[in-house]
């Protein structure tokens, strides 16, 4: 999946996450985490983000996640939706992101 | 007999509600991708529901997803996502005829093949929300072996009928009756419409009692507080349970003796009475639902 332009998904409500993705001019993946759980669970959230990007086939992107106590499934959903919006066409590989 | 006394609507774009939907004890949860989700959030809700189906443990509560119709830009992708996610049943909105069921069935079958799910494992529920749909309800109810229930959606129906909902529901009487009859004739379940005034407990109970009396198997609910009320209405009384136990025991006794005649307290018992007694025990949780 190619990140062609900036897009976002999610809200700042409790239990949710706001995810923004945009093309990375420097290539590769850059992930920035913001939010109350970042200090304690940052490594876990980062692992979820990296695994989801891999299963989506995203190799170049800047990802900013502002989470408000979101569970892993919510972060995966918000990130997948943001990537789907940022990509130019193509179908969602549901079996890969299950 | 699986019980479907309560189907709890959960908006598909509400992460916290998706996670907690089953803890209020509904017989089924129904994640909604249709009317409760704005067009620009359809994709995001689909992802949330997909992840919820794939990763949350709903403790055996049946998981149904109301998809967008196949005539929209969202319906086909909704089916792919929820079948891949492991949904138990897909609910079609605005079913006007058997062709709507057949189109969804074909899409669901294709998704089962694509994602390696057993053929026929995803069930269907059809919501009927128009005069045309009610007049075709018999053909709809028998359109697919996947159909487990048909439901009436009252808000769209009364609009189509140029009327509005009233406390006694007279405007829905013919439609409800036709729908239940078609369900019974097809051997599937009938589910009543939602009651949207969540603070009006008396009104909700009145409507749920009417639906039960007409023969509906359950009701779609929009608030957790409505679950206990509808279950209480469907719960048999201790006297009904005691009598049902005796009827079932007498039937078992007759069968053990190889007798075709079932008798209890000097009266002959017909097969429909035994069937009704089994249903009472299922509603009381005494036999497998």
Rounded Cα distance between B7 and B78, Å, is 20
Q: Which residues from chain A sit within 8 angstroms of residue B54, using beta carbons?
A: 73, 98
For chain B, percent of residues with pLDDT exceeding 90: 89
Q: pLDDT grade, residue B250 (50/70/90)?
A: very high
Domain at B6-234, CATH from 1.20.90.10, 3.20.20.60, 3.40.50.720, 3.40.50.170: 3.20.20.60
Reduce the DSSP state of residue A29 to 3 states and report it.
strand
Instruction: Go through B103-123 and write b for each residue having 16 or more CB atoms within 10 A of its CB, e for each that does not.
Output: bbbebbbebbeebebeeeebb
User: Residue holding tokens 């028998």?
Assistant: B142
B77 has a chain A CB within 8 A of its CB: yes
Reduce the DSSP state of residue A59 to 3 states and report it.
coil
Mean pLDDT in residue range B34-52:
97
Selected residue of B42, B47, B82 to mutate for chain A interface (largest A Cβ count, 10 A): B47
Q: pLDDT grade, residue B199 (50/70/90)?
A: very high
List the end-to-end C-alpha distance of chain B, in Å, as a whole number. Answer: 4
Mean pLDDT in residue range B149-169:
96
Is the ipTM higher than 0.90? The answer is yes
Rounded Cα distance between B230 and B240, Å, is 18
Q: Are A94 and B81 in contact (CB under 8 A)?
A: yes
Mean pLDDT in residue range B264-270:
88
Tell whether the model's pLDDT for residue B178 goes beyond 90: yes
pTM higher than the cut 0.90: yes
List the beta bridge partners of residue B219. B6, B192
Q: Do B48 and A72 touch (CB under 8 A)?
A: no
Q: Which residues from chain B sit within 8 angstroms of residue A97, using beta carbons?
A: 50
Q: Do A73 and B115 touch (CB under 8 A)?
A: no
List the beta bridge partners of residue A10. A18
pLDDT computed for residue B285 by the predictor: 85
Which class is A7-89 in CATH?
alpha beta
> Per mean pLDDT, which range of A54-58, B47-51, B261-265 is the poorest?
B261-265
Rounded Cα distance between B277 and B281, Å, is 6
Q: pLDDT grade, residue B121 (50/70/90)?
A: very high
Q: Do B47 and A9 touch (CB under 8 A)?
A: yes
pLDDT computed for residue B50 by the predictor: 98
Q: What phi and psi, each to the nearest 5 degrees, are found at residue B170?
A: -60, -35
- Over residues A52-94, the pLDDT tens digits come to 999 999 999 999 999 998 999 999 999 999 999 999 777 899 9
pLDDT computed for residue B41 by the predictor: 97
**Which residue, among B122, B106, B183, B119, has the nearest Cα to B150 in the 3D structure?**
B183
Other C-beta atoms within 10 Å of B234: how many? 21
Of B16, B43, B52, the CB nearest to A84: B43
Q: Which residues from chain B sit within 8 angstroms of residue A70, using beta carbons?
A: 15
């Amino acid at each position: 999946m190619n990140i062609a332009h900036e897009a976002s998904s999610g809200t700042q409500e409790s239990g949710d996450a706001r995810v923004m993705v945009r093309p990375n001019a420097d290539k590769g993946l850059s992930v920035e985490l913001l939010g109350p759980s970042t200090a304690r669970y940052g490594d876990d959230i980062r692992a979820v983000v990296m695994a989801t990007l891999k299963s989506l086939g995203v190799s170049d992107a800047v990802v900013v996640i502002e989470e408000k106590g979101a569970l892993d499934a919510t972060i995966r959903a918000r990130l997948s939706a943001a990537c789907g919006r940022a990509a130019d066409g193509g179908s969602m590989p549901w079996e890969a992101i299950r | 007999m699986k019980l479907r006394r309560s189907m709890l609507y959960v908006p598909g774009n509400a992460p916290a509600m998706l996670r907690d939907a089953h803890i209020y004890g509904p017989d089924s949860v129904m994640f909604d991708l249709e009317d409760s989700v704005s067009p620009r959030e359809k994709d995001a809700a689909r992802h949330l529901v997909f992840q919820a189906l794939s990763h949350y443990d709903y403790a055996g509560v049946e998981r149904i997803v109301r998809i967008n119709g196949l005539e929209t830009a969202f319906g086909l992708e909704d089916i792919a996502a929820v079948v891949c996610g492991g949904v138990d049943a897909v609910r079609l909105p605005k079913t006007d005829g058997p062709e709507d069921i057949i189109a969804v069935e074909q899409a669901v079958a294709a998704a089962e093949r694509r994602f390696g799910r057993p053929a026929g494992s995803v069930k269907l529920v059809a919501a009927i929300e128009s005069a045309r749909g009610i007049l075709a309800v018999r053909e709809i109810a028998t359109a697919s072996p996947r159909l487990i229930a048909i439901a009436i959606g009252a808000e769209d129906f009364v609009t189509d009928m140029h009327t509005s909902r009233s406390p006694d529901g007279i405007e829905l009487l013919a439609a409800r009756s036709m729908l239940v009859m078609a369900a019974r004739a097809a051997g599937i379940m009938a589910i009543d419409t939602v009651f949207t005034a969540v603070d009006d407990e008396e009104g909700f109970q009145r409507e749920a009692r009417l639906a039960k009396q007409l023969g509906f198997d359950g009701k779609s609910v929009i608030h957790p507080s409505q679950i206990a009320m509808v279950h209480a209405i469907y719960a048999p009384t201790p006297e009904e349970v005691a009598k049902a136990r005796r009827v079932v025991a007498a039937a078992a006794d007759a069968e053990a003796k190889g007798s075709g005649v079932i008798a209890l307290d000097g009266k002959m018992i017909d097969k429909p009475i035994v069937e009704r007694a089994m249903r009472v025990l299922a509603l009381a949780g005494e036999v497998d639902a």
